[in-house]
Amino acid sequence: MIGATTGAALERAAQAGPYFAITLDPDELVWRPFAELLDPAVLAENVAQVRRVLQERTGVPMANLDLRACASIHALGLVSRLLAPALGAATFASHVPTFRIEHLWWQRVAGGPVPVGVTSPYGSDVTEDTAAETIHAQVVETAVVPLITAFEQTFSLSPLVLWGNVASSVAGAATMLGRGTALAERVTAAGRLSGMGAWTARGFARHNCCLFYKIPGGGTCGDCVLLRS
């Protein structure tokens, strides 16, 4: 399926909130190619900005803001901007967009969800039985894998931390939607996300840490492995 079907599915997902919003056919004169985010220099600039924002908000000296923790936070935010719209479109419209690096765009902002756009949106209609597999094939493998690889190589982050972030973003999207938990469970049980966490009566619980606890005053996330240590 192409064009209007995918666009309509993404517009429906966007109604769930800013993390689910994707700009369709963004103006390439004012947007930046998503492929830039695979460049270590660009990632370093972005994470430096994360540190500056955290320093302004917390008053903690820059030197005390762990670089790898800031990189992990940024990675979690970026992958959420890919997986939340996909989960929303699948949940509300039974359709999964195809996100390829070469079709994606982004903009730098001082805080909040990073704006993401897609040119010539296309995707596939799905059923309850095929949605999770399709999200892996059309979003995780095509866009998330290269992004996670770039973070791993640039900041020497553990794959367990990074893929735990991906699983956490899927679970978080389902929580924000207020539905879609069954789909989120299937997505996090498959492929590279298998073993990154477990679903309990309280929701998703990670088997690894995002490193946010290293930020002074940051505390722990709701799905943190440290809460069960």
Give how far the C-alpha of residue 85 lies from the chain's centroid of Cα atoms, to the nearest Å. 9
Quote the number of domains for the chain: 1
Q: Give the residue-averaged pLDDT of 16-22.
A: 95
pLDDT on residue 56: 84
Interval 131-162: pLDDT, tens: 999 999 999 999 999 999 999 999 999 999 99
Which residues sit opposite 104 in a β-bridge?
118
Structure tokens at 205: 């619980």
pLDDT on residue 19: 93
Structure tokens at 189: 């049980």
Q: Give the residue-averaged pLDDT of 220-225.
A: 50
pLDDT on residue 163: 96
Q: Which domain holds residue 204?
A: 4-228
Look up the pTM and report it. 0.90
Please state, in angstroms and rounded to a whole number, the distance separating the CA atoms of residues 154 and 93.
37
- What does the mean pLDDT of the chain come to? 89
